[in-house]
Protein backbone atom coordinates (compact mmCIF):
# COMPACT_ATOMS: atom_id res chain seq x y z
CA UNK A 1 0.00 0.00 0.00
CA UNK A 2 2.68 2.49 1.04
CA UNK A 3 4.86 1.47 -1.89
CA UNK A 4 2.09 2.38 -4.34
CA UNK A 5 1.58 5.68 -2.51
CA UNK A 6 5.26 6.57 -2.64
CA UNK A 7 5.47 5.43 -6.24
CA UNK A 8 2.63 7.85 -7.11
CA UNK A 9 4.36 10.71 -5.29
CA UNK A 10 7.62 10.11 -7.09
CA UNK A 11 5.83 9.90 -10.44
CA UNK A 12 4.34 13.33 -9.71
CA UNK A 13 7.80 14.72 -9.11
CA UNK A 14 9.08 13.17 -12.30
CA UNK A 15 6.30 14.85 -14.26
CA UNK A 16 6.97 18.19 -12.53
CA UNK A 17 10.67 18.23 -13.35
CA UNK A 18 10.33 16.85 -16.90
CA UNK A 19 11.44 19.47 -19.47
CA UNK A 20 8.39 18.94 -21.69
CA UNK A 21 5.92 19.59 -18.85
CA UNK A 22 3.96 22.83 -19.15
CA UNK A 23 3.82 25.20 -16.22
CA UNK A 24 0.24 24.40 -15.35
CA UNK A 25 1.11 20.70 -15.45
CA UNK A 26 4.11 21.36 -13.17
CA UNK A 27 1.84 23.03 -10.65
CA UNK A 28 -0.64 20.18 -10.88
CA UNK A 29 2.11 17.60 -10.44
CA UNK A 30 3.55 19.41 -7.40
CA UNK A 31 0.11 19.64 -5.83
CA UNK A 32 -0.39 15.91 -6.52
CA UNK A 33 2.90 15.17 -4.80
CA UNK A 34 1.87 17.22 -1.78
CA UNK A 35 -1.48 15.47 -1.54
CA UNK A 36 0.14 12.06 -1.87
CA UNK A 37 3.07 12.65 0.51
CA UNK A 38 0.91 14.38 3.15
CA UNK A 39 3.93 16.18 4.57
CA UNK A 40 6.30 13.23 4.62
CA UNK A 41 9.89 14.31 3.80
CA UNK A 42 11.15 13.34 0.37
CA UNK A 43 14.16 11.50 1.87
CA UNK A 44 11.88 9.25 3.89
CA UNK A 45 9.72 8.62 0.85
CA UNK A 46 12.78 7.60 -1.16
CA UNK A 47 14.07 5.32 1.61
CA UNK A 48 10.74 3.62 2.16
CA UNK A 49 10.21 3.30 -1.61
CA UNK A 50 13.65 1.72 -2.00
CA UNK A 51 12.83 -0.66 0.84
CA UNK A 52 9.57 -1.78 -0.70
CA UNK A 53 7.36 0.69 1.04
CA UNK A 54 8.20 -0.47 4.54
CA UNK A 55 7.91 2.32 7.12
CA UNK A 56 11.05 3.59 8.81
CA UNK A 57 9.90 2.32 12.21
CA UNK A 58 9.57 -1.14 10.81
CA UNK A 59 12.90 -0.72 9.03
CA UNK A 60 14.54 0.21 12.35
CA UNK A 61 12.94 -2.81 14.00
CA UNK A 62 14.15 -4.99 11.14
CA UNK A 63 17.63 -3.50 11.49
CA UNK A 64 17.59 -4.26 15.24
CA UNK A 65 16.43 -7.79 14.47
CA UNK A 66 19.17 -8.21 11.88
CA UNK A 67 21.77 -6.94 14.34
CA UNK A 68 20.45 -9.29 17.00
CA UNK A 69 20.45 -12.20 14.57
CA UNK A 70 24.00 -11.31 13.52
CA UNK A 71 25.12 -11.30 17.16
CA UNK A 72 23.33 -14.59 17.80
CA UNK A 73 24.91 -16.02 14.67
CA UNK A 74 28.35 -14.96 15.87
CA UNK A 75 27.66 -16.47 19.29
CA UNK A 76 26.41 -19.68 17.71
CA UNK A 77 29.54 -19.82 15.55
CA UNK A 78 31.68 -19.36 18.64
CA UNK A 79 29.82 -22.11 20.50
CA UNK A 80 30.08 -24.32 17.42
CA UNK A 81 33.84 -23.77 17.35
CA UNK A 82 34.04 -24.63 21.04
CA UNK A 83 31.89 -27.73 20.50
CA UNK A 84 34.02 -28.81 17.54
CA UNK A 85 37.18 -28.38 19.59
CA UNK A 86 35.59 -30.38 22.42
CA UNK A 87 34.53 -33.08 19.96
CA UNK A 88 38.05 -33.24 18.55
CA UNK A 89 39.46 -33.52 22.08
CA UNK A 90 36.91 -36.22 22.91
CA UNK A 91 37.81 -38.09 19.71
CA UNK A 92 41.49 -37.81 20.60
CA UNK A 93 40.82 -39.15 24.09
CA UNK A 94 38.70 -41.97 22.66
CA UNK A 95 41.52 -42.89 20.29
CA UNK A 96 44.00 -42.84 23.17
CA UNK A 97 41.63 -44.94 25.30
CA UNK A 98 41.20 -47.41 22.43
CA UNK A 99 44.96 -47.70 22.03
CA UNK A 100 45.35 -48.15 25.80
CA UNK A 101 42.67 -50.85 25.81
CA UNK A 102 44.51 -52.66 23.02
CA UNK A 103 47.78 -52.37 24.97
CA UNK A 104 46.11 -53.62 28.17
CA UNK A 105 44.56 -56.50 26.24
CA UNK A 106 47.97 -57.50 24.92
CA UNK A 107 49.54 -57.08 28.37
CA UNK A 108 46.76 -59.16 29.92
CA UNK A 109 47.28 -61.93 27.36
CA UNK A 110 51.05 -61.85 28.00
CA UNK A 111 50.47 -61.90 31.77
CA UNK A 112 48.06 -64.82 31.39
CA UNK A 113 50.62 -66.69 29.31
CA UNK A 114 53.34 -65.92 31.87
CA UNK A 115 51.04 -67.09 34.69
CA UNK A 116 50.41 -70.35 32.87
CA UNK A 117 54.16 -70.82 32.37
CA UNK A 118 54.81 -70.08 36.03
CA UNK A 119 52.07 -72.49 37.05
CA UNK A 120 53.59 -75.23 34.87
CA UNK A 121 57.05 -74.51 36.29
CA UNK A 122 55.60 -74.64 39.80
CA UNK A 123 53.95 -77.98 39.08
CA UNK A 124 57.26 -79.30 37.73
CA UNK A 125 59.07 -77.97 40.79
CA UNK A 126 56.50 -79.51 43.12
CA UNK A 127 56.82 -82.88 41.39
CA UNK A 128 60.63 -82.69 41.55
CA UNK A 129 60.42 -81.64 45.19
CA UNK A 130 58.12 -84.56 45.94
CA UNK A 131 60.55 -86.94 44.23
CA UNK A 132 63.43 -85.45 46.20
CA UNK A 133 61.49 -85.82 49.45
CA UNK A 134 60.69 -89.44 48.60
CA UNK A 135 64.38 -90.07 47.91
CA UNK A 136 65.35 -88.45 51.20
CA UNK A 137 62.74 -90.51 53.04
CA UNK A 138 64.06 -93.71 51.46
CA UNK A 139 67.66 -92.77 52.25
CA UNK A 140 66.67 -91.91 55.80
CA UNK A 141 64.98 -95.28 56.08
CA UNK A 142 68.12 -97.00 54.80
CA UNK A 143 70.29 -95.01 57.19
CA UNK A 144 67.92 -95.74 60.06
CA UNK A 145 68.03 -99.45 59.19
CA UNK A 146 71.83 -99.35 59.09
CA UNK A 147 71.91 -97.51 62.42
CA UNK A 148 69.53 -100.00 63.94
CA UNK A 149 71.77 -102.83 62.77
CA UNK A 150 74.82 -101.04 64.05
CA UNK A 151 73.20 -100.42 67.43
CA UNK A 152 72.26 -104.06 67.91
CA UNK A 153 74.29 -105.64 70.77
CA UNK A 154 77.26 -107.66 69.59
CA UNK A 155 77.60 -111.12 71.12
CA UNK A 156 80.87 -111.42 73.02
CA UNK A 157 83.43 -113.75 71.41
CA UNK A 158 83.47 -117.30 72.68
CA UNK A 159 86.63 -117.74 74.69
CA UNK A 160 88.18 -121.19 74.92
CA UNK A 161 89.93 -122.31 78.10
CA UNK A 162 93.64 -121.90 78.19
CA UNK A 163 94.06 -125.60 78.89
CA UNK A 164 92.56 -126.37 75.46
CA UNK A 165 95.13 -124.13 73.76
CA UNK A 166 97.89 -125.74 75.83
CA UNK A 167 96.75 -129.23 74.90
CA UNK A 168 96.62 -128.41 71.21
CA UNK A 169 100.10 -126.91 71.39
CA UNK A 170 101.56 -130.01 73.12
CA UNK A 171 99.91 -132.28 70.59
CA UNK A 172 101.32 -130.28 67.72
CA UNK A 173 104.81 -130.37 69.31
CA UNK A 174 104.67 -134.12 69.85
CA UNK A 175 103.52 -134.65 66.29
CA UNK A 176 106.41 -132.60 64.98
CA UNK A 177 108.91 -134.46 67.17
CA UNK A 178 107.63 -137.80 65.99
CA UNK A 179 108.12 -136.81 62.37
CA UNK A 180 111.59 -135.48 63.05
CA UNK A 181 113.26 -138.08 65.34
CA UNK A 182 111.16 -141.09 65.98
CA UNK A 183 110.61 -142.29 62.50
CA UNK A 184 111.51 -145.88 61.34
CA UNK A 185 113.09 -144.76 58.13
CA UNK A 186 109.94 -144.98 56.09
CA UNK A 187 108.76 -141.44 56.94
CA UNK A 188 105.77 -142.78 58.90
CA UNK A 189 105.13 -142.43 62.59
CA UNK A 190 104.96 -145.69 64.48
CA UNK A 191 101.44 -146.59 65.36
CA UNK A 192 102.29 -147.42 68.95
CA UNK A 193 103.48 -143.91 69.65
CA UNK A 194 100.34 -142.35 68.17
CA UNK A 195 98.08 -144.54 70.23
CA UNK A 196 99.80 -143.86 73.55
CA UNK A 197 98.32 -140.93 75.37
CA UNK A 198 100.78 -138.25 76.45
CA UNK A 199 101.92 -138.43 79.99
CA UNK A 200 101.27 -134.72 80.63
CA UNK A 201 97.65 -134.61 79.40
CA UNK A 202 95.20 -133.55 81.99
Give pLDDT tens digits for 68-115: 888 999 999 999 998 889 999 999 999 999 899 999 998 888 998 888
pLDDT digits (tens, 9 = 90+) for 168-193: 777 877 777 776 655 554 545 555 44
- The residue segments making up the domain with residue 7 are 2-54
Q: What is the mean pLDDT of the chain?
A: 77
185 occurs within a structural domain: no
| Residue 151 falls inside a structural domain | no
73 falls within a domain: no
The vertex-159 CA angle with 155 and 164, nearest 5°, equals 155
Lowest-confidence range among 9-23, 35-49, 154-168? 154-168
Residue 15 lies in a domain: yes
* 28, part of any domain: yes
Residue 13 lies in a domain: yes
Residue 108 in any domain: the answer is no
Judge whether residue 194 has pLDDT over 50.
Answer: no
Complete DSSP assignment for 124-143: HHHHHHHHHHHHHHHHHHHH
pLDDT of residue 202: 45
Name the domain count of the chain: 1
What's the pLDDT at 174? 76
Contact status, residue 33 vs residue 13, Cβ threshold 8 Å: yes
pTM of the model: 0.34
Which residues make Cβ contacts (< 8 Å) with residue 59, sequence separation at least 6?
47, 48, 51
pLDDT of the residue at 162? 67
Residues 6+ apart with CB under 8 A from 183: 189
Of the candidate ranges 44-53, 100-109, 122-131, the one whose mean pLDDT is the lowest: 44-53
Q: Is residue 144 part of a domain?
A: no
| 182 in Cβ contact with 190 (< 8 Å) | yes
pLDDT of 197 higher than 70 = no
Amino acid sequence: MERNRWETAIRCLEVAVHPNTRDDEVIAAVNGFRRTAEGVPLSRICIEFACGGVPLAELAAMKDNLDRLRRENLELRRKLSVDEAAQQETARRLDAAHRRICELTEETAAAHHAAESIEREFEDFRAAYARAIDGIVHRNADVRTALDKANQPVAPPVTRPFSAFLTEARLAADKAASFAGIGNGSGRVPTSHLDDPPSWSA
